[in-house]
Amino acid sequence: MTQDRFAVMDIGSNTIRILVAERDGAGFKTLHSGQIITRLAEQAHGNGWTLLDAAMERTVGGIAKLIDGAAAYRPFRICAAATHAVRQAANKEAFLNLVRKRLGFGLHVIPWEMEAALSLRGAAMVVGTAAPVLLFDIGGGSTEYICRGADGRIHAEGTALGVVRLTETYIRHAPLVAEEYARLEEYLRAELRGVAEKLDPARPFTLVGTAGTVTSIAAIIHNVVPFDAARINNLALTRGAVEGLLRRLGAMTIAQRSEMESLQEGREDLIIAGIGLTLATMEAFGVGGLTVSDAGIREGLMLA
């Protein structure tokens, strides 16, 4: 083993992801990957952005579990990036200190602009760099929109449109209540109108979705069981297929959704808001479909 073996971690507002890889020239060789949902941002937006003690404990435990799960690939250097939930947290230092004390390493709290750039760099492994793209990265606490034009110039907009906050605010029932979804739609349209006006990507471009919400939608629609990033990458999602999934899942209880092999445990309540945000994104930018990338922040960190 060389000193070029890393365990890179994306500590998100809802999900923690790990990638163990070795640098290989300008790229890297993946040895192991995994993820776990800990919902670090649970109830934070309605609590002065204070992370709950239970959520912090779950997340520290989740980080430890993922590192233990990669033990066969030791020794490696850990590089862990924390995003929106930790950036915003009133008790950020308490969480960072808890990680240092329990796990013996620190987290890098990255600004949203860096988060966006890393997501685009990682997704480019899947969709390439030749054609203009508009990437959206749906997280638990935020969603970033990154536009790369034909000239290679990059423009980005950060939003607070995370699926944890959207679910806690708008989607209270399962099966889905039409009035709740209508309020969510209205809010998303208003928020994304401004994002679309600011970015105004040159056409034609490819809309690319990354992170767990979009990959979960793809896994369900295309029946990717068990989850396989290689099969998920570059899948196409049409607006009609996503609307059909909304009707299907919207009619289910949480218990019924939990029985679906293609839906990751922990997303049963969040998936509706995620579908709504995906559809609202297509509408705001006037496209009828998107391309899926499982690669994102972790891969971007490995290439940094």
Say what the pLDDT of residue 3 is: 63
Q: Name the CATH code of domain 5-110 (choices 3.40.190.10, 3.10.129.10, 3.30.420.40, 1.10.1040.10).
A: 3.30.420.40
Q: What does the angle CA 282 – CA 146 – CA 189 come to, to the nearest 5 degrees? A: 35
Say what the pLDDT of residue 181 is: 98
Six token digits for residue 276: 């709504």
- The CATH H-level (homologous superfamily) assignment of domain 113-301 is Exopolyphosphatase. Domain 2 (3.30.420.150)
Say what the pLDDT of residue 299 is: 94
Summarised one tens digit per residue, pLDDT across range 199-224 is 988 888 999 999 999 999 999 999 99
Is the pTM higher than 0.85? The answer reads yes
Six token digits for residue 240: 């009609």
Do domains 5-110 and 113-301 share one topology? The answer is yes
* Helix axis angle, 178-199 to 163-170, nearest 10°: 140
Sort 47 into a burial class: Cβ within 10 Å, 0-12 / 13-18 / 19+.
exposed
Say what the pLDDT of residue 26 is: 80
Q: By the 8 A CB rule, do 4 and 284 touch? A: no
Sign of CA dihedral 270, 158, 227, 225: positive
50 DSSP assignment: P
Say what the pLDDT of residue 231 is: 95
Q: What is the mean pLDDT of residues 92-98?
A: 98
Summarised one tens digit per residue, pLDDT across range 120-160 is 999 988 988 778 899 999 999 999 999 987 777 889 999 99
Question: How do 206-210 and 133-138 pair as beta strands?
Answer: parallel
Q: What is the mean pLDDT of residues 10-27?
A: 93
Single-letter amino acid, residue 68: D
Hey, where are the domains in the chain?
5-110, 113-301
Say what the pLDDT of residue 148 is: 82
Say what the pLDDT of residue 128 is: 86
Q: Does residue 1 surpass a pLDDT of 50? A: no
Single-letter amino acid, residue 88: Q
